[in-house]
Amino acid sequence: MNYRIIKRSDYPFLLTIDQKVYPTETPVAPKTLDEWYKNDPDFGIIFEEGGKITGVLMVIPLSEKGWNGLISGELTEADIRGDYVFDKTKDGSIGLHCYHIEKFTDGNDFYVEAYTILGHIIKRVCPAAKVLGLSGFAVTTAGISLAFNKLNLREREFISNEHIVSKDGILEVIENLTQEKLEQLLANGYIYHNRCKLLITYPNEVSLVWKYMGYKK
């Protein structure tokens, strides 16, 4: 599968597919994507076949300050800008946060190829940087299954209180859901899907991610 780096013309499509699965009231904006990729657009990986986008792996390259803020829950993805973003001219370590991974064609193990390519990019773009860890804010059952069950990412000190529900096929994000509120929603025709989870793995832990990326601590 061929791939290229992200372009600004990709932004509307990328933000739309993320909003489709995570319809938050505080979404990432185009100017935020500019901040993430102004130094190293290589971390926005777009897969193509015949000029058509077939998959994406959008990774936010974080400085140590940004990494610590994100995994503690003090920062959201939409907050990542400025010195929260990795800068290879001054940062000796990098945190990797998967903002969105998705394949739009049939086939298995897309994530294997995607994370293998991410490993190549790190070796090319910032070979001397220490990798602090890999995280992802999983908002779908498929995403949670991949990150938690397959790749062994885990929740840590930050536990999200956001839940995904839907009615008539339209997803909603509900914060601070109580049992009473859940039962009201179900009685009114809503479907409960899952709680969102900030999942993390570190290089000294067991995860297939480090094998695919070829990264050794």
Assess whether 133 and 169 both reside in one domain: no
Host domain of residue 182: 161-195
Q: How far apart are the first and last CA of the chain?
A: 29
Between strands 52-62 and 130-138, the pairing is unpaired
Residues 32 and 100 in one domain: yes
Instruction: Looking at the structure, tell me whether residues 106 and 137 fall in a common domain.
Output: yes
Q: Are residues 62 and 146 in the same domain?
A: yes
Average pLDDT over residues 166-189: 97
Is the pLDDT at 108 greater than 90? The verdict is no
Q: How far apart are CA 75 and CA 70, in angstroms?
A: 5
Residue 13 has pLDDT above 90, yes or no: yes
Mean pLDDT, the chain, integer: 96
Per-residue pLDDT band at 107 (split at 50, 70, 90): confident
> Quick one: average pLDDT of 57-78?
98
Cβ(115)–Cβ(153) under 8 Å?
no
**Is the same domain home to 57 and 149?**
yes
Here the CATH number for the domain that contains residue 38 is 3.40.630.30
If asked whether residues 126 and 184 sit together in one domain, one would say no
Residue 91 pLDDT greater than 80, yes or no: yes
Residues 136 and 169 in one domain: no
What phi and psi values does residue 92 have, to the nearest 5 degrees?
-95, -5
Give mean pLDDT, residues 75-96. Answer: 97
pLDDT band (50, 70, 90) for residue 67 = very high
- CB of 163 within 8 A of CB of 192? yes
145 and 183 belong to one structural domain? no
pLDDT at residue 58 in the model: 98
Say if residue 88 is in the same domain as residue 30. yes
- Number of domains, the chain: 2
Q: In terms of domains, do 32 and 51 share one?
A: yes
pLDDT one-digit tens code per residue, 19-45: 999 999 999 999 999 999 999 999 999
> What are the distances in angstroms from CA 41 to CA 7, 20, 72, 83, 148?
8, 23, 25, 16, 27
Domain shared by 99 and 47, yes or no: yes
